[in-house]
Amino acid sequence: MSTNPTTTEAPAPAVDPRLLVREAGFAGYVGEFKRKIKSGDLGSVPVVLGLILIGAIFQSLTGDFLNADNLTNITKWVAGPGLIAVGIVFVLLLGEIDLSLGSVAGVSAAIASVLSVRSGLNEWLAILIAIGAALAIGALHGFFFAKIGVPAFVVTLAGLLAWSGLQMYVLGDKGTVNVINDGVIANLDTYFLGDGDIAFTWAFAILGIVLFGAGQLLDSKRRSAAGLSARPMSEIGLRTGVIAVIALVSAYMLNQDRGLPLPLVIFLGIVVITDFVLRRTSYGRQIFAVGGGIEAARRAGINVAWVRISVFMISAGMAALGGLFIASQQGSADKLLGSGNVLMNSIAAAVIGGTSLFGGRGKTWSALLGILVIQSIITGLDLVHVNQAIQYMITGAVLLGAVVLDSVSRRTQKSSGRG
């Protein structure tokens, strides 16, 4: 008596869900967007909507908020705290915090100004020494945190006090040093290759569009060659078109005033570079891995201590650059530089822009989006003559709202199986 052998069918190969979305066309993207919203994966949507709402409210109240000169000033003022926020993004990706960055910004500006003005040192060399001092400070913080085991909160809180004291000591009894007239630091707050030359603004916008489109095409080609899902040409064209509209409208508005601000160029350049480091290098993947789970990262062979120390060095270096831009805009380095709400605004910018306080999720573009929100609120409140006490309370409420949104988003993602 013969029996027929039981036949089993081979399991169907897994299909990348992004392929299904792209095959469905526009309806697929709409459905995917709804799914992400329901699961708490909000991305940059709240920030973009917030910027639109802020612009509409203050324009209706003042009639001047969307004027070219005001928007140009906003793009200049975001550079200092925005660069500090870029450093904070790196630290937050580890699930940690650095409370010393305002003081690091202040002491770095003080060192550069005192060496160049009072000691007569070459200004470029003075700047390099100041940035080097900031990197050493970051390494010290990282050492105590990663090697000794002192919580980052405690280490950087001690640093906040210590480096504020060093800042006052370096500046001396007068407490302030004016930057060199028409020097390197003073010229950080100028316009790219000349005041009022609109050609450079258009060239910068077009270059950005071309580089973005080329990057999208290269990424799609690379993924296709590796047998992975790749964006279709229609999606690449749509993304590039959106960036083109934003870039060209921004260029037009800036050219209605005095052209392309140098602080904006440098800030955008650093955001692009740091974004590449985080998303396209093994070092960046190690940062995300450590932020996602220390023990798992250690078992994967990652040098957790080095990653932590290096991240605190990067954050301190970004703070030094931010301090130099703040000194340039106010024309001096003084004992109050980096104090007040500078640190809080920078932390708020990183969180509002979409970087999680709990580690493992965020982009350096978060710093750009978040600081635009913060600076737009500050500028708008100044235009309607709201006193600083109310400004602090409103900024605090916005920060709390961003943290609550982050917490709710994480909880929703976990409940939907995506956390």
- Whether 32 has a pLDDT exceeding 80, the answer reads no
Bigger pLDDT: 43 vs 107: 107
Q: In which domain, by residue range, is 73 found?
A: 45-191+261-412
- Domain match, 201 and 173 both: no
- What's the pLDDT at 339? 85
- Domain match, 52 and 80 both: yes
- The model's confidence at residue 104, banded by pLDDT at 50, 70 and 90, is very high
Would 1 be classed as within a structural domain?
A: no
- What's the pLDDT at 24? 56
- The model's confidence at residue 23, banded by pLDDT at 50, 70 and 90, is low
- Whether 169 has a pLDDT exceeding 60, the answer reads yes
- The model's confidence at residue 86, banded by pLDDT at 50, 70 and 90, is very high
Six token digits for residue 366: 């978060």
Contacts of 369 (CB under 8 A, 6+ apart): 44, 47, 48, 51, 352, 353, 354
- What's the pLDDT at 271? 94
How many structural domains does the chain have? Answer: 2
Bigger pLDDT: 141 vs 396: 141
- Domain match, 162 and 223 both: no
Would 419 be classed as within a structural domain?
A: no
- Domain match, 88 and 69 both: yes
- What's the pLDDT at 269? 93
- The model's confidence at residue 8, banded by pLDDT at 50, 70 and 90, is low
Would 26 be classed as within a structural domain?
A: no
Strand intervals (E) in 21-175: none
Collapsing DSSP states into helix, strand and coil, what is residue 195? coil
In this structure, of 170-184, 231-245, 389-403, the range with the lowest mean pLDDT score is 389-403
Helices (H) and strands (E) in the chain, counts: 17, 2
Would 13 be classed as within a structural domain?
A: no
In this structure, of 27-31, 148-152, 370-374, the range with the lowest mean pLDDT score is 27-31
In this structure, of 121-135, 184-198, 203-217, the range with the lowest mean pLDDT score is 184-198
Would 23 be classed as within a structural domain?
A: no
Would 38 be classed as within a structural domain?
A: no
CATH number for the domain spanning 56: value is 1.10.3470
- Whether 40 has a pLDDT exceeding 60, the answer reads no
- The model's confidence at residue 11, banded by pLDDT at 50, 70 and 90, is low
Q: Of 245, 260, 275, which one is at a domain's C-terminal end?
A: 260
- What's the pLDDT at 190? 85
Strand intervals (E) in 172-298: 176-178
- The model's confidence at residue 371, banded by pLDDT at 50, 70 and 90, is very high
- Domain match, 253 and 293 both: no
Q: pLDDT (tens digit, 9 = 90+) per residue, 304-337? A: 999 999 999 999 999 999 999 999 999 999 999 9
Q: Of 260, 292, 317, which one is at a domain's C-terminal end?
A: 260
- Domain match, 157 and 177 both: yes
- Domain match, 256 and 268 both: no
Hey, what's the torsion of the CAs at 69, 372, 45, 236, to 10 degrees?
70
- Whether 20 has a pLDDT exceeding 80, the answer reads no
Q: Of 215, 234, 260, which one is at a domain's C-terminal end?
A: 260
Q: What is the average pLDDT score of the chain?
A: 85
- Whether 349 has a pLDDT exceeding 60, the answer reads yes
Strand intervals (E) in 275-364: 332-334
In this structure, of 76-80, 91-95, 228-232, 414-418, the range with the lowest mean pLDDT score is 414-418
DSSP 360: S
- Domain match, 390 and 252 both: no
- Domain match, 226 and 292 both: no
- Domain match, 118 and 173 both: yes
Distance of alpha carbon 338 from alpha carbon 342, whole angstroms: 6
- Domain match, 54 and 186 both: yes
Alpha-carbon distances, residue 195 vs 106, 201, 255, 262 (angstroms): 28, 11, 10, 10
Percent of the chain with pLDDT over 70: 85
